[in-house]
Structure 1
């Protein structure tokens, strides 16, 4: 037995270490693979954060631009937003729009907005010259305004309230539509959500002081600060595509919305501002907007 043990080869220290450890080449290969995988995965982790940050900055800049336009043109300037098109919202009096007009709004649900004014410098009292002051804007892909900002009632919200809107029933049928958005045969959009700046840059209602029938002016002024908070969400929106022959268009119905984490928690209540990561806040007195909130992971 002793002789058998004596016949076993004795490994030198360097050779024994070589059998137990990686060689330098193997270690470099492993490090390279780790770096490659991390490099491929990093964009996926950062895409949501970058898009959300870009969306907040874009909306913040455009709201500040609308304020400046209101001051420079000495008129009330509106930022008009597009909500989801659904049966409960009753967004328009006519569900069937001409294709070109329908596409303008349908493909911008929750993510689209435009700067608009009913008057310009030199307009006579009572004279209207409705005009768009910007092209239609869209938030970055995968980013959109919280659906709670388009709610029709104020109850149940914490920290912020839905933005204001006017209803077709609130205006005289003999008047021209307040906003020259897509219409059919005289039928106009039933509800139009907006944030408005007056000639001093402060937040305001429609310039003739109209308010929704279910809320008086004093109530509006009391809650204007919470109404001027716009939280954004991350996810994907699938717009209702239709084809007329080879032409691609968009149907007049609600888009399909899928939320991304952390907004996709089952059963979560997103009626409180603490459920959002960041938001744009407009100061009701000065009209200046800024981005608030924490880091987007």
Structure 2
């Protein structure tokens, strides 16, 4: 006897589940997500820029404190040296110096600095043993020292003072050819030798560095673009070093209530 095979069709067949989204509902949710993301993006960008500047502030304040402590501990003058603007227009006689200049220092224009002393702790006065403390380092991306600090200054803020210092290392070729290097000098008391407050103006923007196809730096000065234009003056962010104490703080425009 043949058995009849039957199938039971669900009474819910062809109906969408009550817990599922329709295509229209999914599109609405997606549109809301895109709208919220577009509204939040400018705020996130602004937060990122603010965080980058705060990181630069903290880095400089910490390193200025380091230079001050170093001068007191070694009882000698310590120079916080900055990469000169002519770094892309010179050639170092020492091969290692030249390699460092081409591969690193050109890329740190308006951003790089180091610490230098003519003698170390415990050495007899008058005996020179020139020494850089550590490697050349730079500020966070998209933050740099305003160009005018290296040239003429502005609004009553003078440019960096220069000191005859070996650059970029204490190799024999460099020590026999001292060059004027922008620097801030701390004496053995941790005070500024200039007996004047020092201001380091930071700017937001882009630092354009020409490169070859092999991503090697070209011997050309960096091109600076403050974004927004002139923010190192109109919306300034200054690191002020009190000459008497050698301590640094951040100065920003006052916001009137």
TM-score interval, normalised by the smaller of the two chains = 0.7 to 0.9
CA distance in 2, matches of 1:251, 1:95: 15
Deviates most, 276-285 or 127-136: 127-136
Structure 1 residue aligned with 2:76 = 75
Structure 2: unaligned runs, 5 residues or longer: 1-23
Pairing of 1:1-297 with structure 2 (within 5 A)? 31-85=32-86, 92=90, 94=91, 98=95, 99-103=98-102, 104-151=104-151, 153=152, 157-166=154-163, 178-181=165-168, 188=177, 190-204=179-193, 221=195, 224-225=196-197, 228-242=198-212, 248-263=215-230, 274-294=233-253
CA distance in 2, matches of 1:276, 1:113: 24
CA drift of 1:200 comes to 0.5
Q: Is the Cα–Cα contact under 8 Å of residues 281 and 292 in structure 1 kept in the other structure?
A: yes
CA drift of 1:43 comes to 3.0
CA drift of 1:121 comes to 1.2
CA distance in 1, matches of 2:69, 2:236: 27
TM-score by length of 1: 0.66
For residues 51-78 of structure 1, the C-alpha deviation after alignment (integer angstroms, 9 at most, x for no partner) is 1221122111111111011111111111
CA distance in 2, matches of 1:33, 1:102: 46
CA drift of 1:278 comes to 1.2
CA distance in 2, matches of 1:200, 1:191: 24
CA distance in 2, matches of 1:179, 1:144: 23
Secondary structure in structure 1 of the residue aligned to 2:181: strand
Residues 119 and 86 of structure 1: is their aligned pair in 2 closer, same or farther, counting only changes over 3 Å? closer
Supply the RMSD in Å over aligned alpha carbons. Answer: 3.2
TM-score by length of 2: 0.75
Q: Is the Cα–Cα contact under 8 Å of residues 241 and 251 in structure 1 kept in the other structure?
A: yes
CA drift of 1:293 comes to 0.7
Secondary structure in structure 2 of the residue aligned to 1:241: coil
CA distance in 2, matches of 1:113, 1:39: 36
Q: Is the Cα–Cα contact under 8 Å of residues 166 and 179 in structure 2 kept in the other structure?
A: no
Structure 1 residue aligned with 2:13 = none
Q: Find runs of 4+ consecutive structure 1 residues off by over 6 angstroms.
A: 23-27
CA distance in 2, matches of 1:96, 1:260: 37
Secondary structure in structure 1 of the residue aligned to 2:101: helix
